[in-house]
């Protein structure tokens, strides 16, 4: 039984199709969804999504957090990935992602560890994780 998968951001529908299984990284670990899965809501971590298609192929994406909602309507299992940003592996600009990671690493090195700078440091770290996730996905 397939899973109807939709990966969406506020700007666009990134990918839609049927899958045998979708594997996502939640904030508490990985989760796999197959047809017939019970309703579920998972907070996603920054990281990859793997979509195994019924023909044996797979497609990969990267999300900047968000949520995975799984529900069933009239016997059809649907998985909605809702993220602020998401890209398919073939869309990732690796050169730009590496440049962004280098710039953020340099920025972290210049931050002073004070109470005022703590929030800024955490924001830079989160952006660095996003850049690294894109690099890891696209190679």
Contact 83, 63 (CB under 8 A): yes
Q: What confidence tens digit (pLDDT) does each residue in 82-128 have?
A: 999 999 999 999 999 999 899 988 888 776 666 667 777 888 888 88
Q: What is the pTM of this model?
A: 0.85
Instruction: Say if residue 70 is in the same domain as residue 129.
Output: no
**Domain enclosing residue 29, as ranges:** 3-90
Instruction: Say if residue 77 is in the same domain as residue 124.
Output: no
The whole-angstrom separation of Cα 37 and Cα 96 is 38
Instruction: Say if residue 81 is in the same domain as residue 96.
Output: no
Instruction: Say if residue 9 is in the same domain as residue 24.
Output: yes
Instruction: Say if residue 86 is in the same domain as residue 110.
Output: no
Query: What is the largest distance, in Å, between two alpha-carbon atoms of the chain?
Result: 56
Collapse the DSSP code of 39 into the 3-class scheme (helix H, G, I; strand E, B; otherwise coil) and give the result: coil
Instruction: Say if residue 71 is in the same domain as residue 9.
Output: yes
Of 30, 137, 125, the residue nearest 94 (C-alpha)? 137
Instruction: Say if residue 51 is in the same domain as residue 114.
Output: no
Q: What confidence tens digit (pLDDT) does each residue in 40-96 have?
A: 999 999 999 999 999 999 999 999 999 999 999 888 999 999 999 999 999 999 999
The whole-angstrom separation of Cα 129 and Cα 138 is 14
The whole-angstrom separation of Cα 56 and Cα 38 is 24
| pLDDT of residue 26 exceeding 80 | yes
């Amino acid at each position: 039984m397939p899973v109807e998968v939709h990966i969406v951001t506020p700007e666009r529908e990134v990918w839609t199709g049927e899958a045998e299984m979708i594997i996502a990284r939640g904030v508490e670990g990985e989760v796999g969804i197959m047809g017939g899965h019970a309703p579920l809501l998972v907070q996603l971590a920054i990281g990859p999504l793997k979509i195994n298609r019924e023909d044996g192929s797979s497609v990969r994406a990267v999300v900047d957090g968000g949520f995975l909602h799984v529900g069933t309507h009239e016997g059809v299992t649907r998985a909605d990935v809702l993220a602020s940003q998401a890209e398919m592996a073939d869309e990732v600009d690796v050169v730009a992602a590496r440049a962004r990671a280098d710039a953020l690493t340099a920025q972290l090195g210049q931050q002073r560890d004070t109470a005022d700078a703590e929030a800024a440091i955490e924001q830079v770290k989160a952006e660095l994780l996003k850049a690294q996730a894109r690099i890891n996905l696209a190679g």
